[in-house]
Structure 1
Amino acid sequence: MSRALDLLFERLAVFVAGAALALALGVMAAQVVCRYLLDDSLVWSEEVARYALVWSSMVGAAVAYRQGGHVAITNLVERLPARLRLAVSRVVHLLILGFGGLVAWTGWALSARNFARHQLSAALQIDIAWVNLAIPVGGALIAVAAIEAIVTAAKPSAGVSTL
């Protein structure tokens, strides 16, 4: 199971987040070149960059959570006894699981409504639901990473998981 999660997060999710970020950077650079050197703008560049950043941030947030890369204030938790520190870690991961589930649930409801409406973006004329789909995907990935953290913290050989 851990191998499958490593493949999902360390390969697929990192690739999606990185590719989306690279796409946003490339499109913004092309926009600058076109605007200042060619004296002409790309009408679609702002939308592509915005949508790519949405996907990059939602998927990247899940990767960062799984890798322990989010900001955490651990000074108080590190001073607790090992058993209490483990309990606090589990509670935090449970709260994050609830948050990820809520984001996935509400994001899916938003995406489903937009798929039903066939609302198109202004410049690209793509269904806006494809952009909104980043929200439930990111939330679901956060929830999966939280479940993994809870299971890992429950194993006796895992030691004490920090926040």
Structure 2
Amino acid sequence: MSDTNVETGPVGIQRALERLADVVIHIAVIALLGLVVVQGWQVFARYVINDSPSWTEPVTLLLLSTAMSMGAAAGVHTNRHFGFFLLAEHLNPLVKRVIDALVPLIVGTIGAFIAWWGWLLWMDGLHIKTAGADLPQSVNYLPLSIGGALMAIFALNRLLLALRAGSGTGTAVAEGDR
């Protein structure tokens, strides 16, 4: 007896990537809210109780790096990054398909480089402590590395969708393309 509710193939992968993108967006939102709280505490502590905490700057930089990296990855997933979309609509269909495949390839390559070099920088500074907080000096590179890896994954998915659309097999349109 087979279970007809089990998803396999591209639809299951698309749903998994949608869920991953939702988690990424929620992490970015939490990081932004944390940024507001930490900076609010910094201002209150400095100007009201005249006792400025030293941990707020490194934590703020970590939260900012997290929000930026996760936001960039989510932008790749939803196809809401910088692009010449109006120009692409007026191109020859063949040229448009080539560009639709080339753009995610470039974005994925950039994401992979960010992931790799971010990881190397993260590992390189683990033994050095941050001034003011008990964190590694390189902690800001960890979200950068994770965000770059997510950019590469989401761009690879965009590339596969573009190739499928170009071959005429037809796939569901992703949420950011509507």
* Cα drift, residue 131 of structure 1: 2.6
What is the CA-CA distance between 1:60 and the residue it aligns to? 1.1
RMSD, matched Cα? 1.9
Residue 128 of structure 2: aligned partner:
119
TM-score, structure 2 length as denominator? 0.82
Q: Cα distance, 1:36 vs. partner?
A: 2.0
1:21 maps to what in 2? 32
Give the number of the structure whose residues are more often helix, by fraction.
1
Name the residue aligned to 1:132.
Answer: 141
Alignment partner for residue 59 of structure 2, among 48, 60, 73? 48
Counterpart CA distance in 1 for 2:120 and 2:41 is: 35
**Partner amino acid for 1:138?**
G
Q: Does 1:3 align with 2:12?
A: no
Query: Displacement, 1:127?
Result: 1.6
Counterpart-to-counterpart distance in 2, 1:132 and 1:160:
33
How many pairs were matched up?
Answer: 159
**1:30 and 2:37 correspond:** no
* Contact kept in structure 2, 1:153 and 1:159, CA below 8 Å: no
CA 160–6 in structure 1, closer or farther in 2 if over 3 Å, else same: closer
* TM-aligned CA deviation for residue 141 of structure 1: 0.4
The unaligned stretches of length 5 or more in structure 2 are 1-12
State the shift of 1:19 in Å: 0.9
1:102 to 110, 113, 117: 113
What is the match of residue 64 of structure 1?
A: 75
Rounded to whole Å, the distance in 1 between the matches of 2:102 and 2:172 is 16
CA distance in 2, matches of 1:110, 1:55: 15
TM-score (norm 1): 0.89
Structure 1 equivalent of residue 158 of structure 2: 149
- Residues in 2 aligned to 1:158 and 1:82: alpha-carbon distance in whole angstroms: 18
Amino acid across the alignment from 1:153 = A
CA offsets per residue over residues 45-92 of structure 1, 9 Å max, x none? 122111110111011100012112222222321111222211111111
